[in-house]
Amino acid sequence: MNTLLDALRAVVGQAHVLVPRDASDPEFSRHQTDWRGRYHGWAMAIVRPASTGEVAEVIKLCAAHRAGVVPQGGHTGLVGGGVPDASGQQIVLSLQRMNKVLSVDVANLSMTVEAGCLLAEVQQAADDAGLLFPLSLASEGSCTIGGNLATNAGGTHVLRYGTARELCLGLEAVTAQGDIWNGLKSLRKDNTGYDLRDLLIGSEGTLGIITRASLRLYPKPASRLSALVACDTIEQTLALLTLARRTLDASLCGFEAMQAYPIALTLRHKPEQAKAARALLRANASAQDISPEWSVLIDTSSPHSQASLQAQLEDTLSQALQAGLIQQASIAQSDTQYREMWALRETIPLAEKVEGQMVKHDIGVPTSCIPAFLAQAEQALSKAFPGCRIVCFGHLGDGNLHFNVQSPVGIDDQAFLLQHEHAVNTIVYDIAVSLGGTISAEHGIGQLKREELGRRQGQIGTGLMRAIKQALDPQGLLNPGRLLP
Ligand code: FAD
């Protein structure tokens, strides 16, 4: 294998083929453990090419040596998709150095970027040009656009702008043979056969290495406002969504819901970031320190003035108050308050991480089925695992909930995960699927849900996916053991 490493060094340079000095080498090991600390691998090397041409050469060399390639962007994925296996035989291909914004076409509302650009930098480059790239995730300071496209990331503005797929106009990618496919178009309409771009989006590094992307931009809204709202029941929360869709129409960008327990976790572990919630909860608490069952963040933007957006949002909230859908609402009156409100939502995953391991889900169901999903899942879980705690929050407006299950008080989280993960998953996924839903609305399959996908997808779906993989990557070189059942 030294021959392979030497050849890789000749392509990308000595400094960009990292090999472990020892097992605790932090620069090396951060590429081998996932964000949640659940998966640990051991790669032969981390290779960091600087151009599409170098990626192509690296892939050709790996193909010749039959070394599996695990693409990696910001390494914020939550399903173990970018972690190498433990064999020491796989190459981690980090796109980190390919991080340039190549061009912004203001008239065409598009931009071209390299795959390793951080999402926050893509957003900033659009903003600098007076435009908006609306993909927005809590991990945007660390995740890359290549990773976002490979996982078809969602985030908080899907309601208005769609997922990463809807925001991508074209791609350049390196195939499993080391060829460069140029599909880097900036067109809204292009009916020329099979859509290879859409095949690569969401393929989690198993069909090709995304090296550049052409992205769809939007005019920057003139105004932006968020409100934090308290509801008593999930039915009221959904009725509020229906009302907000009608009254706010295209101004409604996000509708995020948080149950009381994840807010309590955030207050416990990240109190600084949960200031806005504290204020809201206190305002709501009257004599006692109680919290609403559901807190909702409504995000809006408009091409019109702040005053007119504020009037629109106030009208929606006063209709909701009159209809008895909400108990309390506050509209952010400054950028600081706006950021504080969003910090509350975005800090939940960090608070969960401090709290410990949980059985995590990112299910999706039609929004109309959310009350049925919650009622059935909560009942079935408390029957099977009395005292288990549910951490539920997420993109309610998209029918996508993080529905995480924590061990009962006094039971070790790791032990609960090891012993009961499969049974918990079966309960949660059976109910989601019976309601027309999905086992993953957002994070993808990776290693975590590969077997589950196999059990649920059916022979025909699995057969078609295998046929595509076989056609594009017959050697099974790209991200082996991921996604495909
Ligand atoms: P990585 O983690 O590096 O890789 C993810 C997968 O894509 C792997 O399978 C990898 O092999 C493959 N890959 C990476 N780059 C390429 C490439 N150039 N070509 C081909 N394959 C590639 N996700 C959401 O969808 N919505 C959210 O709201 C959200 N919030 C999050 C909040 C936090 C705090 C964290 C930690 C994660 C969150 N995520 C969310 C998950 C994660 O940020 C996304 O999946 C993101 O798109 C991953 O991007 P990345 O660059 O980190 O990819």
Q: Both tokens of residue 352?
A: 């969960």
In degrees, to the nearest 5, what angle opens at C-alpha 433 toward C-alphas 429 and 439? 50
Q: Quick one: pLDDT at residue 2?
A: 75
**CB 457 within 8 Å of CB 445:** no
Pick the CATH number of 101-219 from 3.30.465.10, 1.20.120.1200, 3.40.50.300, 3.40.109.10: 3.30.465.10
Q: Quick one: pLDDT at residue 287?
A: 36
Q: How far is CA 14 from CA 8, 40, 172, 348, in A?
A: 8, 25, 26, 41
Q: Quick one: pLDDT at residue 340?
A: 87
User: Quick one: 289 exposed, middle or buried, by C-beta within 10 A (0-12, 13-18, 19+)?
Assistant: exposed
Per-residue pLDDT tens over the stretch 269-301 = 988 877 666 665 565 444 344 468 999 999 999
Nearest CA to ligand 1 atom 45: 77
Per-residue pLDDT tens over the stretch 158-186 = 999 999 999 999 999 999 999 999 999 99
> Helix, strand or coil for residue 437?
coil
Q: Quick one: pLDDT at residue 22?
A: 64
Assigned CATH topology for domain 2-94 = 3.30.43
Chain CA centroid to CA 87, Å: 28
- H/E element, 168: strand 168-174
Ligand 1 binding pocket (C-beta < 6 A) is 35, 70-78, 81-82, 95, 115, 137-139, 143-144, 146-148, 150-151, 153-155, 204-205, 209-210, 349, 442-443, 446, 479, 482
Q: Quick one: pLDDT at residue 281?
A: 53
**CB 314 within 8 Å of CB 331:** yes
337 alpha carbon – ligand 1 mean position (Å): 28
CATH architecture for the domain at 223-350: 2-Layer Sandwich (3.30)
Q: Where are the alpha helices (DSSP H) in 335-391?
A: 335-355, 370-384
User: Could you say which residues of the chain have pLDDT below 70?
Assistant: 1, 22-23, 275-291
> Helix, strand or coil for residue 426?
helix
The C-alpha atoms of residue 341 and residue 330 are separated, in whole angstroms, by 10
Q: Dihedral of CA 71/76/77/79: which sign?
A: positive
The C-alpha atoms of residue 405 and residue 143 are separated, in whole angstroms, by 26
Q: Quick one: pLDDT at residue 412?
A: 95
Q: How many residues appear in the chain?
A: 485
Q: Which of 120, 41, 51, 52 is nearest to 85 (CA)?
A: 41
Sequence ranges of the domains in the chain: 2-94, 101-219, 223-350
Residue from 38, 39, 78 to probe ligand 1 pocket by mutation (most atoms less than 8 Å from CB)? 78
Q: Which of 49, 169, 173 is nearest to 112 (CA)?
A: 169
